[in-house]
Structure 1
């Protein structure tokens, strides 16, 4: 499997997912808090879906990453409790926006995904 520039969005989303997963330890906020659990779960899912998409193009994986990016960006204001340091809130906002932009970019520009859109007539 050769990674190409065609999949650069997935490569960045994979890195952002790993980054988000480790932020509770880097920024020292409670791992068992809603925000800590959210960062770890969302980071793990982002990274796994991007890794799957690097192997084979999955429309659903890109759509889920887009939705997760939006969730990560708004989650500091939705989840209960004190978010703690401003840097953790800013981190979620920036990571979420970056993931959403990358996933949307991939949806708009990847011809393999266009073949899998509803109504495109593809059997796969």
Structure 2
């Protein structure tokens, strides 16, 4: 095995600089706002079946929303605490948001009430947009050359 095959990220010469860029990006105003709203969207998604009273009529969607809401909230908290490790999961929240939009029709193919689909469409779209925004902010911060006040 050659020396290049044993190269790890910990040996990367720009590791400290990359960490500083991620921390600057994650501490910026847009990142804090995106992460905060993503946390709120995840919490709302988790509790919405009980607040909107569709947990008994659509238990599969209620379970889907609970699990995915907790996942989005955990990712949002993780983005705040360790952005350099979570940048790819911010993109996953965009996929989760798209699934939340489509899930009422896929999981419960009949009798999707207006309350369920409006809730899931709005919450899923917000989650997808915030996931894309968080990923873009962190990717922009990791690629920034020098100190830019926007990231």
Report the TM range for the smaller structure's normalisation: 0.7 to 0.9
TM-score (norm 2): 0.66
Closer/same/farther in 2, CA of residues 113 and 103 from structure 1, 3 Å limit: farther
Measured in 1, the distance between the counterparts of 2:45 and 2:52 equals 11
- Could you tell me which runs of 5 or more consecutive residues in structure 2 were left unpaired when the two chains were aligned: 1-25, 145-151
Conserved 8 A contact 2:105-2:112: no
Conserved 8 A contact 2:39-2:72: yes
Measured in 1, the distance between the counterparts of 2:77 and 2:64 equals 20
RCO (CA 8 Å, sep 6+): is it higher in 1 or 2? 2
Conserved 8 A contact 1:72-1:96: yes
- 1:43 aligned residue (63, 69, 79): 69
- 1:59 aligned residue (75, 80, 87): 87
TM-score (norm 1): 0.79
Q: CA deviation at 1:7?
A: 2.3
RMSD over aligned Cα atoms = 2.3
| Structure with larger Rg | 2
Match of 1:33 in 2: 59
Q: CA deviation at 1:14?
A: 0.4
Q: How many residues align?
A: 114
